[in-house]
Amino acid sequence: MQPDHGFVEANGLRLHYLQWGDPARPPALLMHATGFLAALWQPVAEALAPHYRVLAYDARGHGDSDKPVLSEAEGPPSGYHWQVFLDDLRGFLDAMALEHVFVIAHSASSVAALHLAANEPRFVSRLVAIEPILFPPDAASQRDERGSGLAEGARRRRMVWPSRDDLYRTYRQRPAFAKWRDDVLRLYVEEATFARADGQVELKCPGEIEAQMYENSGTLDAWPLLPEIACPVLVMRGEGTDPSLFRSAGLIAGAIPGARVYTIEGAGHFSVMEKPDVIAEQVLAFAGEAVPK
pLDDT digits (tens, 9 = 90+) for 134-186: 988 887 777 777 778 888 888 899 999 999 999 999 999 999 999 999 999 99
How many domains does the structure of the chain reveal? 1
Beta bridge partners of 160: 202
How confident is the model over 107-130, as a mean pLDDT? 97
Mean predicted confidence (pLDDT) in 98-112: 96
pLDDT of residue 113 exceeding 50: yes
pTM over 0.85: yes
φ/ψ of residue 136, rounded to 5? -65, 160
Range of the domain at 189: 4-287
The pLDDT, as a whole number, for residue 71 is: 45
Residue 293, domain member (yes or no): no
In this structure, is residue 174 part of a structural domain? yes
Residue 43 is part of a domain; what is its CATH number? 3.40.50.1820
The pLDDT, as a whole number, for residue 77 is 54
Phi-psi region of 258 (alpha: psi -120 to 50; beta: other; left: phi over 0): left
Selection from 153, 118, 123 nearest residue 34 by Cα: 153
Give DSSP secondary structure letters for 247-289: HHHHHHHHHSTT-EEEEETT--TTHHHH-HHHHHHHHHHHHTP
Q: What is the pLDDT of residues 215-244, one digit of tens each?
A: 887 778 899 999 999 999 999 999 999 999
Instruction: Give the residue, 274 or 290, on which the prediction is more confident.
Output: 274
pLDDT reading at 285 higher than 60: yes
Shortest CA distance to 261 belongs to which of 117, 132, 122? 132
Q: CA angle at residue 16 from 15 to 18, to 5 degrees?
A: 135
- What SS3 state is found at 235? strand
Distance CA 100, CA 121 (A): 8
On whether residue 292 sits in a domain, the answer given is no
Angstrom CA distances, 229 to 92, 126, 146, 225, stand at 21, 10, 27, 7
pLDDT band at residue 129 under the 50/70/90 scheme? very high
What does 135-199 look like in DSSP terms, one character per residue? --GGGHHHHHHHHHHHHHHHHH---EES-HHHHHHHHHTSGGGTTS-HHHHHHHHHHSEEE-TTS
Report yes or no on 158 lying in a domain: yes
Q: What number is the average pLDDT over the span 15-42?
A: 97
Instruction: Identify whether 81 is part of a domain.
Output: yes
